[in-house]
Structure 1
Amino acid sequence: MDDLLRIDDGLSEEQRLIRDTVKTFVADRILPHVGDWFEEAVFPARELGPVLGSLGVLGMHLEGYGCAGLDAVSYGVACRELEAGDSGLRSFVSVQGSLAMFPIWKYGSAEQKEEWLPRMAAGEAIGCFGLTEPDHGSDPANMRTHAKQDASGDWILNGAKMWITNGSIADVAVVWAQTEDGIRGFVVPTDTPGFSAPEIHKKMSLRASVTSSLYFDDVRLPASAVLPGVRGLKGPLSCLSEARFGILWGVVGAARACLEAAVGYATTRVQFGKPIGGFQLTQEKLAWMYVGLGQSQLTALHLGRLKDAGTLTPQQVSFGKLANVRAALDIARRSRAILGGNGITLEYPVIRHMTNLESVLTYEGTEEIHLLTLGRALTGLDAFH
Structure 2
Amino acid sequence: MALSPYDLFDIRSQLSEEERAVQETVARFTNERVLPIIGECFDQGRFPKELVPEIASLGLLGSSLPEEYGCAGLNAVSYGLICQELERGDSGLRSFVSVQSSLCMYPIYAYGSEEQRRQWLPRMAAGEVIGCFGLTEPHGGSDPANMKTHARKDGGDWVINGSKMWITNGNLADIAIVWAQTDEGIQGFIVEKGTPGFTAQEIKHKMSLRASVTSALYFDNVRVPEANRLPNVKGLKGPLGCLTQARYGITWGPIGAAIACLDEALNYSKERVLFGRPVAATQSAQIRLADMARRITLAQLLSLQLGRLKDAGTMQPQQVSLAKWNNCRMAIDIARECRDLLGGAGITTEHVAIRHALNMESVITYEGTETVHQLVIGRELTGINAF
| Alignment TM-score > 0.5, same fold | yes
Contact in 1 for aligned 2:202/2:215 (Cα 8 Å): yes
Pick aligned residue for 2:285 from 264, 282, 285: 282
- Counterpart AA for 1:342: A
Q: For residue 79 of structure 1, what is the aligned residue in structure 2?
A: 83
Query: What is the deviation of 1:338?
Result: 0.4
- Counterpart AA for 2:256: G
Contact in 1 for aligned 2:168/2:214 (Cα 8 Å): yes
Q: For residue 332 of structure 2, what is the aligned residue in structure 1?
A: 329
Contact in 1 for aligned 2:8/2:293 (Cα 8 Å): no
Contact in 1 for aligned 2:244/2:320 (Cα 8 Å): yes
Secondary structure of 1:201's match?
coil
Q: For residue 43 of structure 2, what is the aligned residue in structure 1?
A: 39
Q: For residue 243 of structure 2, what is the aligned residue in structure 1?
A: 240
Query: What is the deviation of 1:142?
Result: 1.2
Query: What is the deviation of 1:347?
Result: 1.2
Pick aligned residue for 1:271 from 274, 290, 293: 274
Q: For residue 223 of structure 1, what is the aligned residue in structure 2?
A: 226
Q: For residue 381 of structure 2, what is the aligned residue in structure 1?
A: 378
Q: For residue 354 of structure 1, what is the aligned residue in structure 2?
A: 357
**Deviation per CA, 1:305-337, whole angstroms, max 9, x where unpaired?**
010110000000000000000011111111011
Contact in 2 for aligned 1:166/1:210 (Cα 8 Å): yes
Contact in 2 for aligned 1:76/1:304 (Cα 8 Å): yes
Q: For residue 199 of structure 2, what is the aligned residue in structure 1?
A: 196
Match status 1:108 vs 2:112: yes
TM-score by length of 2: 0.98
Query: What is the deviation of 1:44?
Result: 2.5
Q: How many residues align?
A: 382
- Counterpart AA for 1:171: D
Pick aligned residue for 1:70 from 58, 61, 74: 74
Counterpart-to-counterpart distance in 2, 1:355 and 1:26: 19
Q: For residue 164 of structure 2, what is the aligned residue in structure 1?
A: 161
Query: What is the deviation of 1:4?
Result: 2.3
For structure 2, list consecutive stretches of 5 or more residues without a partner in the other structure: none
For structure 1, list consecutive stretches of 5 or more residues without a partner in the other structure: none
Q: Kindly, what percent of the aligned residue pairs are identical?
A: 61
**Deviation per CA, 1:12-62, whole angstroms, max 9, x where unpaired?**
1111111110011011111000000000000122x2222111000100011
Secondary structure of 2:36's match?
coil
Contact in 2 for aligned 1:107/1:228 (Cα 8 Å): yes
**Deviation per CA, 1:112-157, whole angstroms, max 9, x where unpaired?**
111110000011110000000000111111100000011x221000
- Counterpart AA for 2:346: G
Counterpart-to-counterpart distance in 1, 2:319 and 2:179: 25
Counterpart-to-counterpart distance in 1, 2:8 and 2:234: 47
Q: For residue 13 of structure 2, what is the aligned residue in structure 1?
A: 9
TM-score by length of 1: 0.98
Q: For residue 322 of structure 2, what is the aligned residue in structure 1?
A: 319
After the TM superposition, which residues 135-214 of structure 1 pair with which residues of structure 2 at under 5 Å, given as runs?
A: 135-150=139-154, 152-214=155-217
Runs ≥4 residues deviating over 2 A? 1-4
Secondary structure of 1:231's match?
coil
**Deviation per CA, 1:142-187, whole angstroms, max 9, x where unpaired?**
100000011x221000000000000011000000000000000001
- Counterpart AA for 1:16: R
Match status 1:339 vs 2:342: yes
Counterpart-to-counterpart distance in 2, 1:68 and 1:210: 26
